[in-house]
């Protein structure tokens, strides 16, 4: 029994430096949560005791794994507040044609405007950020170049008074907008039926593709708009991440 108690003491003391090192390494903002969950798993895994030992008395004391998670969350919140532009408000440039609806806690924003009797709405999602650099090959094709650029997804719907609307799925890169899909939709169509959405946009006649790009540009879907939206969504991502961390901390402390 004495030998077994010695083993337990050595196991407990061996975890202490691991926990200290983990807490000191939480300056890498976007990896701290996963480290915290891993530490919580390690702390909560206790050595299997002999069935002959008396059972432990029930305790309402907060588990040490929760306290570890709380401290790491605090460190992550401080890191996010120091390094992110969470309180920065990106103002729309002059002549920006859309009204912005931005609800805290959601990962999309909605743009809206009216244009010559049309109702135009744009759903903008969080950016797909690319931070790596690849300058070794100057002969990359257009597809590879876009794969190394940050972008934001857009869903553009243009409705008229007859109920039908046309919907574009777009990807906005720096100074360029790519139309990925195009469909004419009717709100009255049954959800059980799959409507024909036309061929792949890239398979359309080149002149028709250019005409649709001009169609969107006239309605405000152009690089000057999407470049602003890119910065706006980066700032929103920082704000939402910080809010998410604080909500997690409140839950753990409750």
Q: What is the pLDDT of residues 55-114, one digit of tens each?
A: 555 555 666 888 899 999 999 999 888 875 656 767 888 889 999 999 999 999 999 999
pLDDT at 21 > cutoff 80 = no
The pLDDT value given to residue 132: 60
- The residues facing 118 across adjacent strands are 115
Residue 136 confidence class, pLDDT cut points 50, 70, 90: very low
Kindly tell me if the per-residue pLDDT of 245 is higher than 80: yes
Joined together, the tokens standing for residue 116 give: 């010559």
Q: Under 8 Å CB-to-CB from 12, ≥6 apart: which residues?
A: none
Each residue of 160-186: pLDDT tens digit? 987 889 999 999 999 999 999 999 988
The CATH number of 99-240 is: 3.10.280.10
CA–CA separation, 227 vs 221, rounded Å? 11
C-alpha–C-alpha distance, residues 167 and 238, integer Å: 29
pLDDT at 247: 94
Q: Which residue has the higher pLDDT, 3 or 197?
A: 197
Query: Could you count the other beta carbons within 10 Å of the beta carbon of residue 97?
Result: 15
Residue 30: per-residue pLDDT: 55
pLDDT at residue number 66: 87
226 touches 154 (CB < 8 A): yes
* Domain edges within the chain: 2-51+62-83, 99-240
Mean pLDDT of 30-36: 54
pLDDT of residue 140: 54
- Name the band, by pLDDT with cuts 50, 70 and 90, for residue 190: low
Residue 15 has pLDDT above 60, yes or no: no
């Amino acid at each position: 029994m004495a030998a077994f108690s010695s083993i337990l003491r050595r196991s407990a003391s061996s975890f202490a430096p691991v926990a200290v090192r983990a807490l000191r390494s939480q300056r890498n903002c976007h990896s701290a949560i996963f480290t915290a969950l891993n530490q919580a798993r390690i702390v909560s895994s206790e050595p299997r005791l002999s069935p002959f030992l008396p059972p432990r008395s029930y305790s309402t004391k907060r588990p040490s794994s929760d306290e570890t998670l709380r401290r790491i969350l605090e460190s992550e919140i401080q890191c996010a507040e120091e390094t992110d532009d969470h309180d920065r408000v990106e103002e729309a440039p002059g002549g920006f044609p859309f009204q912005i609806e931005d609800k805290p806690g959601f990962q999309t924003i909605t743009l809206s405007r009216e244009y010559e009797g049309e109702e135009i709405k744009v759903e903008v999602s969080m950016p797909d950020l690319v931070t790596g650099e690849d300058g070794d090959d100057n002969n990359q094709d257009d597809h590879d170049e876009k794969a190394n650029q940050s972008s934001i997804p857009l869903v553009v719907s243009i409705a008229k008074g007859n109920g039908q609307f046309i919907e574009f799925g777009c990807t906005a890169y720096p100074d360029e907008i790519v139309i990925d899909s195009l469909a004419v939709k009717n709100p009255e169509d049954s959800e059980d039926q799959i409507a024909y959405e036309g061929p792949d946009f890239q398979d359309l006649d080149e002149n028709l593709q250019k005409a649709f790009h001009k169609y969107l540009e006239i309605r405000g879907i152009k690089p000057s708009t999407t470049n602003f939206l890119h910065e706006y969504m980066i700032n929103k991502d920082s704000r939402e991440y910080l809010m998410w961390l604080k909500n997690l901390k409140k839950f753990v402390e409750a």
